[in-house]
């Protein structure tokens, strides 16, 4: 059995091999490509990063013809959050918090989609906003309207108002944090959240 998680939905797939030997080969291949085993030999902590994101409002052309829309939030190309389905015109006003971001995460995207009226027709993309984390001020709200763009087009299909806050804790001496990371190895997300809150509170005092 293979279990796949997409957003908040779980899907199960069952496979049957002709022989036990072939089943073991399948398992080895699938484990190699699906399981992410932590590297216990590397405990160095370099950065602690988090991203809070609020999807506030949208603007679409009156002649767009879209009636029901929703948004998907992407990190590293994977959809991690989905807004509720809203009828145009609408205000989303939904917020998300992504803690302990991977160092490989360099950007996030928000895509606005139009829901199909028929179950057998795929929902269509209206446009997407992609923001580089390196372009965001550290620890400050980035409250802006962003153009919704599609591949192969230079014309905006509308706009989204996003409020994003990217927090980065970076220090030359992280011995204490490395020790905490070792002790709290099963609770890295909670540790990252607590350290970021401490860091932000300290910044307001100095």
Residue pLDDT tens, the chain, 206 long: 565 654 445 566 667 777 777 777 777 777 766 655 545 444 445 567 889 999 999 888 666 678 889 999 998 888 889 999 988 888 898 999 998 788 888 999 999 999 887 777 888 899 899 999 989 988 889 999 999 988 878 888 889 999 999 988 765 556 667 777 778 877 777 777 777 777 666 555 55
Model-wide pTM > 0.85: no
* Per-residue confidence (pLDDT) for residue 17, from 0 to 100: 72
Integer Cα distance of 149 and 159 in angstroms: 9
Residue 58, strand partner residues: 160
Count of H-run helices and E-run strands, the chain: 3, 11
Integer Cα distance of 91 and 59 in angstroms: 9
Residue 108, strand partner residues: 75, 131
Phi then psi dihedrals of residue 54, to 5 deg: -120, 125
* Per-residue confidence (pLDDT) for residue 74, from 0 to 100: 93
* Per-residue confidence (pLDDT) for residue 41, from 0 to 100: 47
Integer Cα distance of 183 and 88 in angstroms: 49
Please state, in angstroms and as integers, the Cα–Cα distance from residue 20 to each residue in 15, 24, 129, following that order.
12, 6, 48
Integer Cα distance of 117 and 172 in angstroms: 55
Integer Cα distance of 157 and 149 in angstroms: 6
* Per-residue confidence (pLDDT) for residue 186, from 0 to 100: 78
* Per-residue confidence (pLDDT) for residue 203, from 0 to 100: 55
* Per-residue confidence (pLDDT) for residue 167, from 0 to 100: 87
Burial of 37 (0-12, 13-18, 19+ CB in 10 A): exposed
Integer Cα distance of 186 and 154 in angstroms: 46
Integer Cα distance of 150 and 125 in angstroms: 8
* Per-residue confidence (pLDDT) for residue 34, from 0 to 100: 62
Residue recorded with tokens 């001496």: 173
Strand order in the sheet with 47-60: 91-98, 47-60, 158-170, 141-147
């Amino acid at each position: 059995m293979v279990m796949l998680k997409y957003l908040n939905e779980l899907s199960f797939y069952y496979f049957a091999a002709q022989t036990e030997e072939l089943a073991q080969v399948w398992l080895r291949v699938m484990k190699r490509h699906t399981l992410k085993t932590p590297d216990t030999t590397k405990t160095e902590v370099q950065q602690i990063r988090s991203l809070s994101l609020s999807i506030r409002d949208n603007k679409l052309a009156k002649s767009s013809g879209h009636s029901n829309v929703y948004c998907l939030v992407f990190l590293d190309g994977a959809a991690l959050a989905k807004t509720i389905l809203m009828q145009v015109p609408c205000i989303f006003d939904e917020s998300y918090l992504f803690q302990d971001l991977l160092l490989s995460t360099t950007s996030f995207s928000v895509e606005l989609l139009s829901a199909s009226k028929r179950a057998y027709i795929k929902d269509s993309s209206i446009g997407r906003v992609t923001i580089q984390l390196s372009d965001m001020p550290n620890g400050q709200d980035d409250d802006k309207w962003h153009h919704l763009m599609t591949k192969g087009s230079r014309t905006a299909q509308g706009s989204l108002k996003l409020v994003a806050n990217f927090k980065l804790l970076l220090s030359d001496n992280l011995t204490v944090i490395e020790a905490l990371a070792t002790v709290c190895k099963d609770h890295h997300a909670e540790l990252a959240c607590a350290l970021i809150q401490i860091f932000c509170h300290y910044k307001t005092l100095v």
